[in-house]
Amino acid sequence: MTKSILTYLFLVYTAISFGQELTGQELLTKSIRYHDPNGNWETFDGTLEITMETPNNANRVSTIKINLPKEYFYVKATRDGKTTEYTVEKNECKIAFNGKTNISDEVIEENNLSCKRANLYKNYYTYLYGLPMKLKDEGTVIDPKVQKKTFKGKEYLVLKATYKEDVGKDTWYFYFDPKTYAMEVYQFFKDETKKDGEYILLTEEVEVNGIKMPKKRAWHYNKDNGYLGTDILK
């Protein structure tokens, strides 16, 4: 009888355990519910004030405006007395440097000003501050298997994401708190066998337009834990 009871309890426990296993898409859904419970990202129209701190450099202070329904992006960044402004509205791009739109070729070359760079900033900021919602974008391949990893002494549920060839080539891992499903770490590799790429630690939170965004993003190299800098959302 005792053996039968133990067998029954084991089977019940096993069934419960398997029932609690999440797929990659289920984990992503839970995290989106935590960060964007009202589904505000799709219609996001807001302003972000970000200070970037890096070793041995002056801070870079940026004002970023994103209006997704109008396909509008604007960034004004100031460092060392130089101010660069990029505007991308649908397929149009505008550039200003120290308040002037009539910029010489010499200044353009010296400060690496281009519409390509404008779109790079647009993609960078909308991706990072749109996470984890951006993982629903077309071309993102979510691994169905959720991993469990310990990182910096804490256990996480980990989601692996790769991208279709025309979207991106890097491999990303997203680390979620197993209780709240808050995103607390992510890292990427260009070639995982070489342990290249970086990891980013997310601490504190700021609510913008009903979306929980990380206040601080601290960037480190995967290879040697070398510190790169911190983005601070005001």
Between 17 and 234, name the one with better pLDDT.
234
Inform me whether the pLDDT recorded for 8 exceeds 60: no
Domain that holds residue 64: 45-129
- Preceding omega of 132 cis (within 30 degrees of 0): yes
Query: Is residue 218 included in any domain, yes or no?
Result: yes
Tokens of 160: 């692996």
Other C-beta atoms within 10 Å of 42: how many? 11
> Positive or negative CA dihedral for 85, 221, 159, 217?
negative
Which of 129, 159, 175 corresponds to the end of one domain?
129
The domain tally of the chain equals 2
CA dihedral 209, 212, 214, 215 (to 10 degrees): 50
Which of 129, 147, 168 corresponds to the end of one domain?
129
pLDDT tens-digit series, residues 48-82: 999 999 999 999 999 999 999 999 999 999 999 99
pLDDT tens-digit series, residues 167-207: 889 999 999 999 999 999 999 999 999 999 999 999 999 99
Q: Do 107 and 165 reside in the same domain of the chain?
A: no
> Whole-prediction pTM value?
0.88
- Preceding omega of 55 cis (within 30 degrees of 0): no
CB 66 within 8 A of CB 121: no
Q: Give dist(CA 15, CA 170) in Å, integer.
A: 36
pLDDT tens-digit series, residues 94-111: 999 999 999 999 999 999
Residue type, 204: E
Q: Do 101 and 162 reside in the same domain of the chain?
A: no
Q: Do 157 and 55 reside in the same domain of the chain?
A: no
Inform me whether the pLDDT recorded for 7 exceeds 70: no
